[in-house]
Amino acid sequence: MNNKRLISLAIAATLPFAFSANAAEHVDLLIRDATVVDVVSGKLQPHRTIAVRDGHIVAIADAKQAKKYDAANVLDANGKFAIPGLWDMHVHFGGGDALIEENRNLLPLYLAHGITAVRDCAGDLSPSVLQWRDQIAKGELAGPRIFTSGPKIEGYKSIWPGDIEIGTTAELNAALDQLQGWKVDFVKITDNTLSPELFMAAVKEADRRGLKTSAHVPYSLTLEEVSAAGLDSIEHFDYAYKAGSPLEKSLGEKIARGEINSRDAWTQWNATFDPARAMAAYRNLARHGTAITPTINGSRVVTYLDQDDHRNDPYLKYIGPGLQATYTWRVERAAKDDAQAIARRHERFETSAGVLPMMQKAGMTILAGTDAGFLNSYNYPGIGLHQELGWLVHYGLTPQQSLQAATINGARFLGHDDEYGTLASGKVADVVLLDADPLRDIAATKQIHAVVQHGQVHDRAELDAMLADVARRVADEREAAKQATTSK
């Protein structure tokens, strides 16, 4: 065989390797030319391609690296801003079995607003919520990933529906056994009728079992006491304000004994509030790892019902008549306040919200949550989280810190930051494309171009269709309720 023939054979033998080396790597989805928002560093990464396979991010590539990938499904971002899917870290599903369908209708509202995960902080529909959690995880039901506490732990004759009521240590252990059997994602504990002693026992025992805890804090206990016991998150910012007063403990015990009401106690806490003392308390909370979910939006709506009764809110077309009926009790309670009481609740809200930047500066983890759901008047699932982010900025956080509260902070708190919370290789492909930069103006989170959940694209047309479908269902429910009333 001549040399020319040998050379030809050698070249031919190497050709398959040459072609395979240059062949494009196939993925399921390419999001091209996105401006990726790094919520941790606050930096923008322009002209990036996000490659997705099997619901996970394979790579975030620059223009040169992007050439190695191809996909049948391509989403052209055209420079739009990509943020991680949003997390609402305090929602509720409830109102009784008659409202199961109305609650299920809320799930698309979250997804249509870029919310790919929610933390359900207890209600009276736990069996349904647990079922939805599993169905969503399997791709059988459209909605955000659900992390739930199941029913919360309370004392006997609690005012809250659906609680597990306990009065002894044995009942506490049985309750925790039940919740662990249901594989809840955390444990919710509240203070309506639960004794301080059992509250502390519940926090400590849940911590011993490796369960995350979330709570309303009894007035008679200091934040340092519950934090040192292992409490993982405080729900609602007004519980945190009293830590700045030297009367935190003594007035709390008077409330527990019925010697003073919480409104009058707050007046004294406010009069003796010491910023240095508050900062020391918040640093202790941060040292113990206790987070806070301020839930500003829900509190603000009720505080300012005298200025906006919300009865003509366009968003009500998405809220079923049964759920709207649950709003009444807070509205009626607020309506009983005279001018002096209204002024006092305004002051209490604004002053309490003012400690938000102090908690951020102290190093506490702030979780963005709305308290949306049944009972909480005009605090809407979906759009409510975007309103919450706006209030976080209004009361002192930066847009970046606000974004962190709704992304990486929630994922990290629940122990899922290896999968969620940022856009990076290996993470679940939960991506929200925005028309504007949220680091400049947090209101940009409302300008949603598309939502990618676990690698599945929902474009603007599909998101609008989700909203329209919910509005249609609610209209049908309202008509059915009207006919039922007429026929009686």
pLDDT digits (tens, 9 = 90+) for 230-272: 999 999 999 999 999 999 999 999 999 999 999 999 999 999 9
Q: Which amino acid is at 438?
A: P
Residue 2's pLDDT is 47
3-state helix, strand, coil in the chain (%, to 5): 45, 20, 35
For residue 16, the model assigns a pLDDT of 43
Contact 279, 362 (CB under 8 A): yes
* Rounded distance between C-alpha atoms, residue 128 and residue 146, angstroms: 12
pLDDT, residue 8, reads 42
Element (H, E) at 60: strand 56-61
In this predicted structure, the answer to whether residue 15 has a pLDDT above a threshold of 70 is: no
Query: Mind listing the pLDDT tens digit for each residue in 351-374?
Result: 999 999 999 999 999 999 999 999
| pLDDT tens digit sequence for 289-343 | 999 999 999 999 999 999 999 999 999 999 999 999 999 989 999 999 999 999 9
Nearest to 65 by CA among 44, 45, 51, 84: 51
For residue 146, give the nearest of 75, 92, 197 by alpha carbon.
92
Beta strand pairing call for 456-459 and 448-453: antiparallel
Provide the mean pLDDT of the chain: 94
pLDDT at 11 over 80: no
Predicted confidence at residue 183, as pLDDT, reads 97
Tell me the sheet residues that pair with 214. 188, 233
- State the Cα–Cα distance between residues 68 and 436, nearest whole angstrom: 29
Mean pLDDT of 160-176: 96
- pLDDT-based confidence at residue 165 (cuts at 50, 70, 90): very high
> What is the DSSP secondary structure assignment for residue 163, as one 8-state letter?
-
Structural domain boundaries in the chain: 25-84+422-454, 86-420
Cβ neighbours of residue 201 under 8 Å, at least 6 residues apart? 169, 172
348 vs 360: CA distance, rounded Å = 20
Q: Is the pLDDT of residue 1 over 50?
A: no
Q: How far apart are CA 78 and CA 49, in angstroms?
A: 11
Asked whether the beta carbons of 133 and 105 are under 8 A apart, the reply is no
Q: How far is CA 262 from the centre of its chain?
A: 28
Are residues 359 and 280 in contact, defined by beta-carbon separation less than 8 angstroms? no
Please, which residues have CB within 8 angstroms of residue 485's CB and are 6 or more apart in sequence? Answer: none
Asked if pLDDT for residue 116 goes beyond 80, the answer is: yes
Per-residue pLDDT averaged across 93-100, rounded?
Answer: 97
How do residues 452-483 score in pLDDT, each as one tens digit? Answer: 999 999 999 999 999 999 999 999 999 888 88
The set of residues, in sequence order, having a beta carbon less than 8 Å from that of 298 and lying 6+ positions away, is 370, 371, 372, 376, 379, 384
pLDDT range class, residue 404, cuts 50, 70, 90: very high
Domain 25-84+422-454 -> CATH class: mainly beta
Check pLDDT > 60 for residue 21. no
Q: Which of 403, 406, 392, 191 is nearest to 300 (CA)?
A: 392
pLDDT above 70: percentage of residues in the chain: 95
The rounded distance, in Å, linking the Cα atoms of 452 and 435 is 15
Cα dist from 347 to 219, 276, 360, 430, 453, whole Å: 20, 21, 22, 39, 41
pLDDT attached to residue 480 = 87
CA distance 288 to 294: 18
> 452 with 423: CB under 8 angstroms?
no
Report how far Cα 409 is from the mean position of its chain's Cα atoms.
10
275-285: per-residue pLDDT in tens? Answer: 999 999 999 99
Which 3 state secondary structure label does DSSP give 279?
helix
- The reported pLDDT for the residue numbered 54 is 97
Residue found by looking up tokens 């990290």 in the block: 412
Residue 488's pLDDT band, with cuts at 50, 70 and 90, is low
Q: Which CATH class is domain 86-420?
A: alpha beta
pTM value?
Answer: 0.94
Say if residues 376 and 300 touch (Cβ distance below 8 Å): no
Dihedral sign computed on CA atoms, order 341, 342, 344, 348 = positive
Residue by residue, DSSP assigns 175-205 as HHHHHHHTT-SSEEE--SS--HHHHHHHHHH
Looking at residue 18, what is its pLDDT?
A: 39
Measure the CA–CA gap between 329 and 313, rounded to whole angstroms. 18
Residue 23 has pLDDT above 90, yes or no: no
Per-residue model confidence (pLDDT) at position 343: 95
pLDDT for position 391: 98
Half-sphere exposure of residue 460: CA atoms within 13 angstroms, side-chain side: 8
Is residue 31 classed as helix, strand or coil in its secondary structure?
strand
Distance CA 483, CA 477 (A): 10
